[in-house]
Chain A
Amino acid sequence: MMKSIDASGMDFSELNRQLREAEGGAEISACLGQRFIGAGMGKRKIRIHGVPGNALGAYLNGAEIEVFGNAQDAVGDTMNAGTILIHGSIGDTAGYAMRGGRIYVRGNAGYRTGIHMKAYREHLPVIVIGGKAGSFLGEYQAGGVIVVLGLHTDGGPIVSNFPCTGMHGGKLFLRSRCEDVLFPKQVTARPASPEDMEELRGYLKEYCELLSMDLNAVLDAPFTLVTPDSANPYRQMYVAN
């Protein structure tokens, strides 16, 4: 059974203590800036009303977190498994060094989404942003998949300056022809092929279900796929020995 937690005036460590005990899941009300919510937690549902603090779901290990509003910086920092669903927008550095699981955002994302994201064997982290993304999207991305849909209605480009700086693995899908986007030299941006779109459908299916969106309508647009040029684009920067 889900436990109700009124977080008014509650310290983050007490809130997390109560969450750890709530193996049947918890619904938090009056959340206001408590950090590290759900940190490292396995299988359980956590529903949040209010504004969770930084590093929501850090090191998450299988829990499902749902936020009925905005979240702040470093959502899913180094998360391992599980799902974080945000109905509003998020701050900077979401999915920092994320190595598994899903981050789904209906609204916009701030700077450096997916920085240092990585994949390993069966672990493939996925971030889907419904609106626009700030600068340095996918900075140093080493693996996993980032999708930005650009369905925002508050103006501005789908992605700001310097996307994919230092990218050396993984994939970035942008729901745009990206004619005005300046990518760095070591990545390739090309229109998504039918096979790419089929792969993308797999990443977006759960996102659209959870947010009650029409998957076919979301897919019915030109997408650009960005990948790094080679397996080791920085080899020339170092001594080869």
Chain B
Amino acid sequence: MNNIIEIKKLSKSFPGTLANDNISFNIKNNSVHAILGENGAGKSTLVKILYGILEPDNGTILLNNKNFAVKSPSESRNLGIGMVFQHFSLFDSLTVAENLVLGLDENISFSKLKEQVESISLKYELPLDYDAPITNLSAGEKQRVEIVRILLQNPKVLIMDEPTSVLTPQEVDKLFVTLRKLINDDKTILYITHKLEEVKKICDEVTIMRNGKIIETCNAKNEDVKSLASKMLGKKLPEIEKSKINSDNKKTVFEVNNLDLKYNDPFLVDLNNISFKVREGEIFGIAGIAGNGQSEIMNILTGEEIIKKKSAIKCFGTDIGNLGPKKRREMSIAFVPEDRLGHSAIPQLSLLDNVLLSQFKGNQFSKFGVINKNEIKEKTIEIIKNFNVVTTGYNSFAGSLSGGNLQKFVIGREILSNPKILIISHPTWGIDAGAELFIRQSLINLAKKGTAIIVISQDIDELLEITDRISVIYKGNLSDPLDTKNISLEKLGLLMGGKF
């Protein structure tokens, strides 16, 4: 088998980081080649260079033994390279057909396009509702539109960037069927991922990246999940310690009763009759694919959106639906929203200033509206120390911290307020494995002390690891909770697909 792509001594730097450091490896024709690495390992930079979005500082790429130096994605498409992005680039208000036409470089009539799309759909098992608006599609269907759009250009190499991050387990299986068909049809797939099981399941060869460098390129069949993990992380991670207290007989401290909210907005998800209860010392998970109402629920739980029916949310028996975030914090409820850049923290401000963002009852951060800087400084130092935040000091900008360190800082800020209830959305999104483990352990330790925790997450592994019970949200409906101990992945997948 000959190589379709050869990468030689490729380097790319950004201010402050060397994203790709002297990278060399080959991709065999007609194979699924994985690039495995953690967030920040340099995978995205590499594929962006291949697709012509970025230019390398140094190095050569050969495509079919010919020099390949493209300056734009359209050049790259003309040479037979297509890419499916992790975040879809579709126009929500247009139909599938209109989106497909927009992605094409040449003019083509709708009827001819329909013929082509139908043959592609049939050949690779990618069923599409041609006239449906994108808004009405599930994540899996949107991804199919993206794949068909790329296949219309008949590429030889298909780059897929974290394709399964928004799919249910069942949708992942369907995607893999399509990928195998593509391979049978003489295509090559470059598969970017940080999920080890997927490498084992679908890939032929795997290139492992860490800190911008290639660690190794090896045959995926000869590796197991453990060996891949240690190569990817560069060290063995300790196991999470999960000796939890039994919260079955504890009292309910936080409940949501028949929360019903119609937004009348096509870009927001209506919430239908949502109810759940959380007990003292319990970690309650809300699973589901992104865009099924998680951000709407989070806004209501934090009080950033106030609801009229105040009895829909109860904390220690008090109605709090009509209280804003400040009042809720005074009741010892702490929050960590998903986005740490500009929501739970402000990148342009120092860590010191960021501490002041969430003020709890009993702190001495201000008196008569005048800020007490010493008190805040002490708190900042305490957070940095107790939560292993790597930073140059309390005066550094929040934006200068890595994702993992900033997330540790934000979560530390909330945990050190000794909350009775912690509501947290996607706690380990986009951070390195070390910080991920640290944060999960911190949450478990907090629950041991009696805090009730609500975790909204797309990461099923995370929820299985730390929660006591899990409910699934689908199109604004919340399933009955399941005990995490006896849960099956298949059942969870069905729930995530809306089969309650």
Does B bind A? no
Q: Taking beta carbons and an 8 Å cutoff, which residues of B are in contact with A?
A: none
